[in-house]
Structure 1
Amino acid sequence: MRLLTNPEEEKLKVLTENSISLTLIEPTENGLKKSIMDATGTVRNYLRKNNFHDYNLQAQGPENKIIIDALIYETDKVNKSRTSLYRPKTKKGDPRIWFSGLTKYSNPNDILALIAFEGKLHVLNLTQLPIEQLIDSAIINPIKELIEEINFIENAVSKELLNMLTNLAKGGPILSMVNADTSVGRTLETALGIDINSSKLPDYKGIELKSFRANKGNRKNLFAQVPNWKLSKFKRSAEILNAFGYWREEDFKLYCTVSAITTNSQGLTLKVDPDINQLIENSNQKGVGDFVVWTLDKLHQRLLEKHKETFWVAADTIYDDGKEYFQYKQVEHTRKPIVSQFDILLEQGIITLDHLIKRNSKGRVVEKGPLFKIKPNSLDLLFPPSNIYNLIL
């Protein structure tokens, strides 16, 4: 695809600011004549990740063509179209896509935004349409209606959860369930009626809940992810514990933070190697060196899975008669982390890794991590601008 012009970039920015997930495609002169466009890797990935279509599962030939409804937008009306998704028998069956009637609404090398929504592909010509004026217009128009409908549906769950949190906060401080660092989160989820489990999926209808004590200034937990043992020198957590663990009273454990900018007291450090797309943990212990590996792709995947949408809930702690209470007071609402920033923040020591490994009384090795955490007040380095809501006035 060609480089976007400045006006096209501005229109893309406006759609992004309105939380619209989309992909771009450029019909060529030859493509318009033959009614055919290449479904580029970017387009294919977008359709697959939005559960719209997976070309990898599609066989070649016209008999395996998929036809789906589409809508092509003008400033004042919407035109019905049909999306053809297919792989020809020729060559390697390179994926193709086409929209019926497209030649009426696009010139060669225009940039089209494709939006997968409600089982249809919505087509907006970024080159020709005055996107910002249409969205901001006081007069109802098809594009404004589309954006508002998408936002309404996307925000319905977050509004529901925010109302639940507001009502909870109005009830005053809540007694901590247990005496533990994790109690601030467990207490909140229990109060909201959310089952506490070890699932890697978000907590509430696609929204991840992360609670923290506002007065502690601790790092915020992003996600847990074990290394890729197949690519690693060490093949299990027990080997890490045996190599670097220590005794604390009756426990043999390894509880430590590992960073890319310093070597910790166990001699451990992180290295980001973009050439081979890996995060590597290294020991300065003779004969050990690089001992475990994570692929950056896997870490990116976990970040996107866990934090597509997140409520970071701050709580004040109140002590009364030796018991801890939580007054949940503020929510920071983030969406869609910027994956490319993750690697940079690792390199800068803003995102770090925590080992939480110990051998229990039965001799079994228990691993609660490794946990990837981000420094306090650094969410804006990983996420687009967030919304902050006060739960109590």
Structure 2
Amino acid sequence: MRSLTAIEELRLKVLTKNSVELTLIEPTETGLKKSIMDATGIVRNYLKEKSVHDYSVQNQGPQDKVIIEGSFIGEFKLISSKVSLYRPNTKKGDPRIWFSGLGKYANANDILALVWYSDLLYIMNLSQLPIEDLINSSVVNPLKDVVEDIQRDELSISNELLVMLRKVAQKPVLSMVDADTSVGRTLETALGIDINSSKKPDYKGIELKSFREKRGNRKTLFAQVPDWKLSQFKSSAEILDEFGYWREEDFKLYCTVSAINRNSQGLSLKVNSDINHLIENSDKPKVGDFVVWELEQLHSRLLEKHKETFWVSAESKFEDGKEYFQYKEVEHTKKPIVSQFDILLEQGVITLDHLIKRNSKDKVVEKGPLFKIKPNSLDLLFPPSEKHMLI
């Protein structure tokens, strides 16, 4: 796809600011003449993430073509379209997409924004449509209606969760287990949310992160193992064997690693922006750089996990030797600023925690590595947030 013009970039920012998730595609002159377009990687990923279509499991040939409903957004009306998703028998079945009636809506090399909402694929011409004027117009128009519906849906889910949290916060809740993670597990159980190891957000697209207040604890952003193919060490077991230590009956490596200093195990992080890698390094000459994360992968995890997040603080109270949580406040963040992530790594604001242990069955268990951000630093990574008192 070609580079966006200044006006197209501005229009894209307006849509993003209004919480519209989208992907972009560019019809070529040849494509318009032949009624055919390549379904590029970003288009395929978007359709898959939205559970619209997965080209990777689609067979080749016209008999397996999938047709979905689409609609071109004009300044004053919507124009129906049939969207074809298919893999031809020729050219190794390269994924294709086509919109019926596209030739009347767009010129060659216009940039189109695709938006999946309410079981319909909306197509808007980013090159021609006055996006900002239409959204801010006092006159009813199709784009304004769609954007307002999307925003209303987003707000309804966050309000729904907020009501649920306020019910839980009416009285202290007995901790489920004696562990640092209990503050989150207890809240999810009280809300009726299944506890699992999924990397997806917890509640209808909203991630829940709970923490005990007054501890100055760092907040967990996400967990992500290194890219073992790029790394000298090929498993968490190798890391444990090299840097682990005995604590009573456990052989473990529980430590924080930062880019601004070395920890007691001699470990530190470094960001190599030239090759877009985060590298963990040991001061042992025979080891040196031993594991690698691709920064793009970390960015993807951040965006996947924290598109929208409720950070819930709880007061910890003890009665008769048992811990209770009084959930008190929510900080609501949206859409992290990915470009800040690397800077905060370099500044030691975002750090990494190893949580590796060999259990009694000689099995290595890795609960991380966890990427965490210092307390009171969310505003360095996220746009302005909203705070809500629960009690």
With structure 2 as the length reference, what TM-score do the two structures score?
0.86
2:271 maps to 1:272: yes
**CA offset digits 1:219-277 (Å, max 9, x no partner):** 11122233344554434434323322334455443221111232212111123345655
Q: What's the Cα RMSD here?
A: 3.0
- Aligned residue number for residue 73 of structure 1: 73
5+ long unaligned stretches in structure 1: none
Which residues of 2 match residues 201-350 of structure 1 at below 5 A?
Answer: 201-249=200-248, 251-273=250-272, 278-318=277-317, 324-350=323-349
Q: CA deviation at 1:117?
A: 2.2
- Output the CA distance in 2 between the equivalents of 1:35 and 1:363: 60
Deviations 1:158-189 (A, max 9, x none): 221111112222x1444444554333223322
Displacement of 1:108 in angstroms is: 3.6
Cα distance in 2, alignment partners of residues 195 and 114 from structure 1: 33
* 1:356-371 equivalence runs, <5 A: 356-360=355-359, 365-371=364-370
- % identical aligned pairs: 71
Q: Which amino acid aligns with 2:282?
A: S
Indicate the SS of the match to 2:225.
coil
Output aligned runs, 1:19-34, within 5 Å. Answer: 19-34=19-34
Per-residue deviation, 1:78: 0.9
Q: Is 1:131 the counterpart of 2:131 in the alignment?
A: yes
Flag the 1:129–1:312 CA change in 2: closer, same or farther, 3 A: same
Within a 5 Å distance, the mapping from 1:97-246 to structure 2 comes to 97-169=97-169, 171-246=170-245
SS at 2:270's partner residue?
Answer: strand
The amino acid that maps onto 2:226 is P
1:126 to partner: Cα distance: 2.3
State which drifts further: 10-19 or 315-324: 315-324
Equivalent position SS for 1:103: helix
Distance (whole Å) between structure 2 residues aligned to residue 27 and residue 357 of structure 1: 50
Change over 3 Å in CA distance of 1:265–1:384 after alignment to 2: same
Q: 1:198 to 1:51 in 2, by over 3 A?
A: closer
Alignment partner, residue 6 of structure 2: 6
Q: Distance in 2 between matches of 1:59 and 1:361?
A: 47
Q: Residues of 2 paired with 1:229 and 1:108: CA distance?
A: 43
Q: Which whole-Å CA distance do the structure 2 matches of 1:105 and 1:231 have between them?
A: 46
Which deviates the most, 190-199 or 107-116?
Answer: 190-199
Aligned to 2:386: 387
Partner SS state of residue 286, structure 1: coil
SS for the counterpart of 1:352 is: strand
> TM-score w.r.t. structure 1 length?
0.85
Q: Measured at CA, do residues 196 and 122 of structure 1 come closer, stay the same or move farther in structure 2, by a change above 3 Å?
A: closer
Report the CA distance shift for 1:4/1:278 in structure 2 as closer, same or farther (over 3 A): closer
Residues 109 and 202 (structure 1), Cα distance of their counterparts in 2 relative to 1, 3 Å cut: closer
The alpha carbon displacement at 1:59 in A equals 4.6
Q: Secondary structure at the match of 1:154?
A: helix
For 1:160, give the aligned amino acid: E
